[in-house]
Structure 1
Amino acid sequence: MNLTDQLKDQMKVAMRAKDKVRLGTIRMALAAIKQIEVDTRETLTDEQAIAVLTKMVKQRRDSISQYEAANRPELAQAEAEEVKVIETFLPKPLTDDEIAAIIDATIEQVGAASMADMGKVMGALKSKVQGRADMGAIGTLIRAKLK
């Protein structure tokens, strides 16, 4: 079953359970996926759908930090609940050791030797860790290894 079908099934479950937060979040995710499908006129693969969900999580985390800075904990809490729902559909996050191993293997695979090769490494890594790790943090780790 692909990710979009899982979202649709869980939407039905949330409707039956009258879980408004989960239902609203799943509907938002499906709408974001559908919007991209309409814009590109093609059905998204699971990897592309994961990228959409990852972007949604990142946006909500940014919103949480802004709401907390503005002393609006109720809005930050609502965003945090949405993040929890979206993360249930994302792949299991990688551990720090797994990330380090993937980075080392990718650096060796592309033959990166300096910061000039950072783009090659990031490009090769993106498909391997999409939705399973924060690309910003991975970029920092790569910089440290390519000095």
Structure 2
Amino acid sequence: MELLERINTALKEAIKSKDTDTRNAIRMLLTAIKNKEKELRRELQEQEILQLIATAIKQRKDSIAQYEKGGRTDLAEAERREVRILQQFMPEELSPEALQALVREVIQEVGATSVKDLGKVMKPLMAKIAGRADGKTVHEMVRQELSG
């Protein structure tokens, strides 16, 4: 599993270079992976690991917003550092044009014609996107495409 190997290698490098922020963020990620594997009683696929990373990034971004609202810029900055560390394991984000093309392709594949078909489009689309775009952005783009 290439992604898990990259994560473990990054952890070793962080430990060697005494980079505590990176070490802690990667250990948190590996713990989440191990917990999910115990829950499912099997090893995770690369796609599932990417989903865990995306969830962790989303949680950090939500925390950043809360910390900034509360005037805790020090904690918000710590969360930003973790987001940057975790993002290095995610695939490169899709450009808006590439995302739009994927949206149109999946809409045609499933034969969606109205906003009522949003759910039929989102599931296969999110599988194809695989962490390369934000879910909210994708949802809005599909909604616009189906209503226009």
Matched residue, 1:30: 30
**CA apart distance, 1:86:** 0.2
CA deviation map 1:63-89 (0-9, x unaligned): 001111111100000000000000000
CA-based RMSD of the aligned residues comes to 0.8
C-alpha displacement at 1:126, in angstroms?
1.0
Task: Structure 2 unaligned segments of length 5 or more: list them.
Answer: none
Task: Map residues 86-101 of structure 1 onto 2, 5 A cutoff.
Answer: 86-101=86-101
Q: Which residues of 2 match residues 1-147 of structure 1 at below 5 A?
A: 1-147=1-147
Q: What runs of 5+ residues in structure 1 fail to find an aligned partner?
A: none
TM-score for the superposition, normalised by structure 1: 0.98
Q: Which letter does structure 1 place at the counterpart of 2:61?
A: R
Corresponding residue SS for 2:125: helix
The alpha-carbon deviation at position 2 of structure 1 amounts to: 2.1
- Partner amino acid, structure 2, of 1:143: R
Quote the Cα distance in structure 1 between the aligned partners of 2:40 and 2:12: 27
Structure 1 ranges of 4+ moved more than 2 A: none
TM-score under structure 2 normalisation? Answer: 0.97
Q: Secondary structure at the match of 1:138?
A: helix
Q: Distance in 1 between matches of 2:33 and 2:3?
A: 10
2:90 and 2:70 mapped to 1: Cα distance? 29
- For 1:2-25, what per-residue CA distance to the aligned partner results, in whole angstroms no more than 9, with x for missing partners? 211211111001000000000000
For 1:57 and 1:87, locate their aligned partners in 2 and report how far apart those are by CA, in whole Å: 7
CA deviation map 1:102-131 (0-9, x unaligned): 001111111100011100100110111121
Deviations, residues 24-68 of structure 1 (Å, cap 9, x unaligned) = 000000000000001110000000000000000000000001111
**Partner SS, residue 16 of structure 2:** helix
Percentage of pairs with the same residue: 37
SS in structure 2 of the partner of residue 15 of structure 1: helix
| SS of the residue 1:29 aligns to | helix
